[in-house]
Amino acid sequence: MNSTLTPVQGCLIKLDVHGETRLGIVSQTKNEETCVVKWFDKGLKNPFSDVKVNDLQPAFKIGMEVLDATPEIGYQRLGRGVIVFERKLAGFYQYLVNFELDNIRVWMPFQHLIPVKNAEARFKGGDVSISQTEVERFRLRVLANAIKLWNENTGALSHLDIDPLPHQINLVHHILKTNNLNWLIADDVGLGKTIETGMLLHALRQRDQARRVLLVTPAGLTKQWKEEMYHKFHIDEFRIYGTDFFINEQREWKQYDYVIGSMDTLKHDNHIEKLLDAGNWDLIIFDEGHRLSRRQYGNKYDSSDRFDLAAKLRLKTKAMIILSATPHQGDQAKFIALLELLRPERRRDLLQLDRNPEIIRDMIYRNHKADVTDKDGKFIFKGKVTKAIAIPTTDEFQEFEELLSAYFKKGYQASQAEGNFARAIGFVMTTYRKLAASSVMAIHKALLKRVTRLEMSYQSAHENLQELNDERYAGEILEEELTKILNDGKSSIEFFAGELEDLKELVEVSHHLIREDKKINVFMDSIIDQILAKNSLEKVLIFTEYRTTQEYIKTKLEEQYGLGKVEIINGSMKHDDRINAIKNFEETGQFLISTEAGGEGINLQKTCNIMVNYDLPWNPMRLVQRIGRLYRYGQQKNVLIFNLHQPDSVDVNIIFKMYERIEQIVNDLSNVQVHEFNDGLKDEILGELSQYVDVEDVLKTLTEIGISRTEERIEEALRNAKEAVNIQREILSYATSGDADSVRTDIQVETNHIESFILGMLELLDIEYTLHSESGYIRIRFNDEYQKKFKSILGKASLLDVTIDRSVAVNRPQIHMLDLSSPIMQYLIEKALDYDTGGLCCAISNAEKAFMNFMTTNILKWQDLQGNVVRKQFCIYTYSPKSEHVNPPKILDMFTKKLTAFHQTVPITTQQANSLLEKADKALQSFMAEKSNSYLMPNDLYCSSMLLNLSTK
């Protein structure tokens, strides 16, 4: 035999001795040529003997369970596996081992394998432990398997700052269990598409199925997505194409596996070519998927550049996720084109969508706001009250409005000329109108800058403002664009004859208005003072779209309530500064003034329930986003919203009427349906309607077409939006929605299971700890060995406070969160599942509320059509003479407390053991068959551990 390897201790070998085969295990290695073998032959006087390594042959058999014991430094052992084939190649004996941990098959030299006795072999052989220590190790093994695979199938235990809701867990679980990642996620606005996407990515990363991911978003959302993937999920690999990195040569793509790109950047030919050179992606995600449009004219298609981008990228991935709350938009052909991107193989079916709308059930998942509950089944939205606060009219304000309207009319007339400068004038007029609707201070300062620009040189009027491209700060972007335009060389020229004189008059009148600003006075006296009169510690969130107005409000509040009470958030701030502003507001502050509407970062539902909209955005969707900062999961009070409006302002009045009309339509649509949670249904419809209402262009033309015509055009836009909502709601009623059954047959893990596991493992490993239940954390003292192992977390310290409560971790950043991204948690699970830990087969004594006599814990595996393991599920089979179950409800609760070992001889025969195992195998195979489909084929059924529950009577 040609061998250069020495068998490891425990290796199963055989030796021909005078024509007879002698079996044994390697007991000790003396040197490279000789080892000591312990023989199984009980007739030998001395069971140990020295044997030459080259004389030994392997004694393993197909079906045996083995451990990888590769001794060389630099190799990571593959764990436990099953021998599936054997061969002798060029004089080397090798075994093909199917390793459980990494789902891989490897040809292993026999010298590096150790036989192990799995749970089934122990049970059949009567090797059932009655040790209390083994019973505890069994309990911890069960919990470790449950935690590990629950996270792998839902992403629910990923690094998050809030507990995921059932609808989010169900969505991720449903998509993953189908083993088809081509889905349109069409959740209602505000239900957490970012959370769902992050959970899905986390789960796929646990399965090693998301090595390369491309996330394509609107231009203004790239930075937001990057921030949230990092701060919510600790996914720090994402880089923004064209901002964080540039590609000059194809080989440079090797450095970037997690990429975020703007669809409006990537759609251009030069960028598409570079992107197609990047190779294949495991997953491509398109946010705001309704922006991908293709229309049909007879037999011809007219597709947008964005759609063409998606179509080309579709050829570079097997999996595409599209996110859109409004995928249909009342256009069936456009909707079908979107679904064709996802499922090109279903094109014929999709052309028959009118006849068979139910086919979208395995393509679209949609959660409804009206149906969303917490884990206890309670609706998560507690209701809200909106109050309109009118600003009293004054002669001086009416005069200002008339002067302003006359100025806008002249400006818009000048914008009708040809060229870029004329278009810039139109932009300036529209921005001035929005600033005027926000505050007198905002328009006063803007007009004053224009006067300065006309009277002074370019250099003295220029301001250095950072470039901002983030949809969360739409108003600020307008302010900065306005500054850039007014700092352009041509802007020193009057937009129209006599502009400077008109501006000076406007500046003078607005200056007087500021001294007696009715809007700020109503805000301070009728809203803020009245709120604080009822509760002097009440916190208030204030929204405005413009930074000038923000500073104005801040100054007024600080004058009356003092420094340290007011915090601001705007687009010029870094992420950490925004987080600190929110923290200060929640702890010691009282007022938070924000220009941010769309960001997920401002979630203040735990400390605040009052919002003031100092100005109303022209885009209704932004108001929905604002309200969502308080009106969301975790809010324990009714949300109170104050909307300020100035009836004598033409723009403000039309905008306010628009919002009133939207509310009427929402009420009409919601009254058609009967729902237990009508407020939730109204919010659901409001979100959809606001996505469709596009009245900004109508409002821009107000000075040209007059008030009555403007109101008619807004009404027309609202009618179209209402029709689109009705059509979409009808077709999407066939989508998969709120699939609670998706997880009902899974072992579901909750906080009490995780805490019980952690405390049990700390005791098992003899790690000192103190439980501070009331404060929600555990204080652990690590010895020198563990200090070295967890140095990246501990530094030089030996004490560490840890928690499994996400709210504790968010409010106290110094406390380490023990989620599945924590190296400590990963180590505890790894140790619990280690073969040497034990707990494979044991007996307990008449467990409390016993409903079974026999239990197996199992790992079921499914594969794709090419044999790749794509899903694993942890299953518990229970048997009693009266019934048998797979994953009975709340079965995991049995393991939150220590079990009592059976302290007598286990009364079970081989025949009884075989009978029980046959019953378990039959039930588990039936369960597996139910969960299989054309994309998900059975791969393996593995028993992890077994338990007998015996009576002492």
Q: Are residues 572 and 468 in contact, defined by beta-carbon separation less than 8 angstroms?
A: yes
Q: Are residues 758 and 655 in the same domain?
A: no
**And the tokens for 462?**
């220029």
Q: Are residues 531 and 585 in the same domain?
A: yes
Q: Which residues of the chain have pLDDT under 70?
A: 1-3, 101-102, 161-162, 296-300, 329, 457-479, 485-491, 597-602, 650, 662, 664-732, 734, 738-742, 847-851, 952-953
Identify the CATH number of the domain in which residue 178 sits. 3.40.50.10810
- Quick one: which of 677, 636, 740 has its CA closest to 369? 677
Q: Are residues 753 and 708 in the same domain?
A: no
Backbone angles phi, psi at 815, to 5 degrees: -90, 130
Q: Are residues 338 and 290 in contact, defined by beta-carbon separation less than 8 angstroms?
A: yes
Question: Which stretch of DSSP H or E encloses residue 215?
Answer: strand 213-217
Q: Are residues 90 and 225 in the same domain?
A: no
Q: Are residues 413 and 507 in the same domain?
A: yes
For residue 848, CA distances in Å to 746, 852, 884, 950 come to 23, 11, 18, 11
Identify whether 302 is part of a domain. Answer: yes
Domain count, the chain: 4
Last residue of a domain, one of 367, 396, 423: 367
Q: Are residues 182 and 325 in the same domain?
A: yes
Orientation of helix 332-342 relative to helix 305-314, angle to 10° = 30
- How many degrees, rounded to 5, is the angle at CA 930 between CA 927 and CA 933? 135
Q: Are residues 287 and 396 in the same domain?
A: no
Identify whether 17 is part of a domain. Answer: yes
Identify whether 405 is part of a domain. Answer: yes
Identify whether 908 is part of a domain. Answer: yes
Residue 835 DSSP label: G
Q: Are residues 645 and 656 in contact, defined by beta-carbon separation less than 8 angstroms?
A: yes
Last residue of a domain, one of 367, 395, 427: 367
Identify whether 757 is part of a domain. Answer: yes
Last residue of a domain, one of 367, 402, 427: 367
For residue 61, CA distances in Å to 12, 90, 94, 422 come to 10, 20, 11, 85
Q: Are residues 94 and 229 in the same domain?
A: no
Q: Are residues 350 and 419 in the same domain?
A: no
What pLDDT does 646 receive? Answer: 83
Cα–Cα dist 474/722, whole Å: 25
Identify whether 16 is part of a domain. Answer: yes
Q: Are residues 701 and 825 in the same domain?
A: no
Cα–Cα dist 844/950, whole Å: 6
Amino acid at position 905, single letter: T
Cα–Cα dist 848/895, whole Å: 11
Q: Is the dihedral of CA 354, 356, 358, 364 positive or negative?
A: negative
Q: Is the dihedral of CA 272, 274, 279, 282 positive or negative?
A: negative
Q: Are residues 503 and 450 in contact, defined by beta-carbon separation less than 8 angstroms?
A: yes
What pLDDT does 469 receive? Answer: 57
Residue 780 DSSP label: E
Backbone angles phi, psi at 379, to 5 degrees: -60, 135
Bridge-partner residues for 863, per DSSP? 869, 937
Identify whether 7 is part of a domain. Answer: no
Q: How far apart are the first and last CA of the chain?
A: 59
Q: Are residues 64 and 142 in the same domain?
A: no
Cα–Cα dist 189/184, whole Å: 14
Identify the CATH number of the domain in which residue 102 sits. 2.30.30
Reported in sequence order, the residue ranges of 366-418 that DSSP labels E, i.e. its strands, are 384-390
Q: Are residues 434 and 564 in the same domain?
A: yes
Identify whether 6 is part of a domain. Answer: no
Give the range of the structural domain holding residue 939, as residue numbers without chain letter. 124-148+749-766+817-950
Backbone angles phi, psi at 20, to 5 degrees: -110, 150
